[in-house]
A and B are shown apart, each in its own frame.
Chain A
Amino acid sequence: MMHVPLGAIERPQPTLLLDLDMPNVALAARPRLRHCTLIEDPSETATTLVVGRDYFKIERTGDRSRFLHLKSLLDGRHDLDQLSSLTGLSLASVSEVVSAFAELGLLQDRQDAPTITAQAFIEQVEDSALMWRRQIELHPLLARLASGDVRREVFIGLLIETYHYVKLLPAVIADLVPTVEDEHTRQVLAHYAEEERLHYLDYEQALSSLDRIGKWISSSHPTVGTLSLVRNFEAVGRRSALSLVCCLQLIEARLFEAPAAEADLRTIAERYDAEALVEPFIQHMKADLDMGHSGILREALKYREAIDADLAHQAVNDMHDVKHCFDVFHDSVLQYYGDISNYIPRPKVDYFAL
């Protein structure tokens, strides 16, 4: 065995960090990480960070919880000294991590411009929509359905709640159309709502074939997760047509996503002996792709050269909220349909039920 004198090993002194061959990146006084998704494999020290369409691998040496604590403070509210004192990490370590993020353009570059070009806005929103769609897919409900460790009612519940959502949302959009000021956007939304209006009937017909519960589908009531999703769309659309269009961009599948999505759904359906039930869901996706629904943002903005920055900020914040509504939607399916004591499908509560 070879003994290595301690003096021959690098000691944990902050000055050593200055030896790192890091580029001279000018750090923001209060660094703020760009909006991202962290994907962590518990068995690895590496973390994947997703920003829009871009993926980054973060290899870490040091304590995981301190790294995540530091990440949680990269919100533009803390300077480097505060980041160091709050995390217990040395100032040199904090500077090094922030420099590494800055070098790859992962810190926010905030500008005061009153407008954003429409083309830049479209591209950014399309990229962020993809990022958030990937994030929605990481919900435990979908992983558990894929591995088959939840009961069949949970999958049926996901189909029922999707039916409610597909039934309710076009009606909400149609109600909002007259409130939209811009004529072209109003036409785009009216056209979209009309094309989506009757899709729910195919879902209803398929689900009506379910043994014993099928006849109660059309009179059933959504879970609160589904209602929250639809009502959030309504609240967003009542405030801003741009926000509504961005949120619709979030929910529409892209052509390149379709094959894997169809295959995954068919695999889950086969596991739960529900192949016929998912057919209208798949046909709906294909029909939407054929009608170009995933290009709704481009279509709505095709005559616009610039977007007011405040409206743009509001729109992406609304998209982010709707993304989290999908997490709640999936939580709700897992909780309600996973409980063996719950009524399926969910009935309305009327006065005489009290």
Chain B
Amino acid sequence: MSELTVLVPKGVKVQVQEAADLSRGDSRIPADRNVVIVGSDQLKVAVARVEGAHPKAKASVVLMCG
């Protein structure tokens, strides 16, 4: 699937997000869907444990060791 056309009522704001994998591995997306519409009263999350590289501060604290 390379393109989609989405028709919505006038005044509805549409945001488009790309997901890395729509078919598996993402609990936001049911296995049998290739398009997910989320209304303003809905929230979908995928939570996964991360191993290895983590977000890091730009500088470590060396000064606080007492």
Instruction: Name A's B-contacting residues (CB within 8 A).
Output: 1-4, 6, 9-12, 14, 16-17, 19-22, 39, 41, 45, 48-50, 54-63, 66-67, 70, 88-90, 92-94, 96-97, 100-101, 103-104, 106, 133-134, 136-138, 142-143, 145-147, 158-159, 162, 165-166, 169-170, 196, 248, 251-253, 257-258, 260-262, 264-265, 267-268, 281-282, 284-285, 288, 293, 326
CB-based contact B57/A138 at 8 Å:
yes
B2, B17, B31, B58, most chain A CB atoms within 10 A: B58
CB-based contact B65/A12 at 8 Å:
no
Closest residue to A60 on the B side, CB-wise? B45
B25-66, CB < 8 A from A = 26-28, 30-33, 35-51, 54-66
A1 in complex: contacting residue of B3, B47, B54, CB < 8 Å: B3
Report B-chain residues with C-beta under 8 Å of the C-beta of A260: 60
A56 in complex: contacting residue of B4, B26, B48, B62, CB < 8 Å: B48
A284 in complex: contacting residue of B32, B46, B56, B65, CB < 8 Å: B65
A-B pair count, CB < 8 Å, reads 187
User: 17 A–B contact pairs at CB < 8 A?
Assistant: A4-B6, A9-B35, A9-B37, A12-B38, A58-B47, A59-B26, A59-B28, A62-B43, A63-B43, A89-B43, A100-B27, A137-B57, A253-B62, A253-B64, A261-B60, A288-B66, A326-B64
A6 to B2, CA, bound (A): 17
Interface code B6-37, partner A: CB below 8 Å = 1, 0 otherwise?
11000000000101000000111011110111
Report A-chain residues with C-beta under 8 Å of the C-beta of B50: 48, 55-57
Report B-chain residues with C-beta under 8 Å of the C-beta of A20: 27, 30
> What DSSP secondary structure best describes chain A's contact surface?
helix
**Given pairs A60-B43, A104-B47, 4 additional interface contacts (CB within 8 A):** A9-B37, A21-B27, A89-B41, A170-B66
Nearest CB on B from A72, distance (A): 14
Instruction: Name B's A-contacting residues (CB within 8 A).
Output: 1-7, 17, 19, 26-28, 30-33, 35-51, 54-66
Closest residue to B60 on the A side, CB-wise? A261
Closest 9 A-B residue pairs measured CB to CB? A137-B57, A12-B39, A62-B43, A261-B62, A261-B60, A142-B59, A146-B58, A146-B59, A59-B46
> What DSSP secondary structure best describes chain B's contact surface?
loop
Known contacts A67-B43, A100-B46, A11 near B66 by CB under 8 Å:
no
CB-based contact B49/A282 at 8 Å:
no
CB-based contact A265/B47 at 8 Å:
no
CB-based contact A1/B5 at 8 Å:
yes
Nearest CB on A from B4, distance (A): 6
CB-based contact A285/B65 at 8 Å:
yes
A21 in complex: contacting residue of B31, B51, B66, CB < 8 Å: B31
A20 to B37, CA, bound (A): 14
Report B-chain residues with C-beta under 8 Å of the C-beta of A3: 5
Closest residue to A138 on the B side, CB-wise? B57
A137 in complex: contacting residue of B30, B32, B59, CB < 8 Å: B59
Nearest CB on B from A108, distance (A): 16
CB-based contact B63/A137 at 8 Å:
no
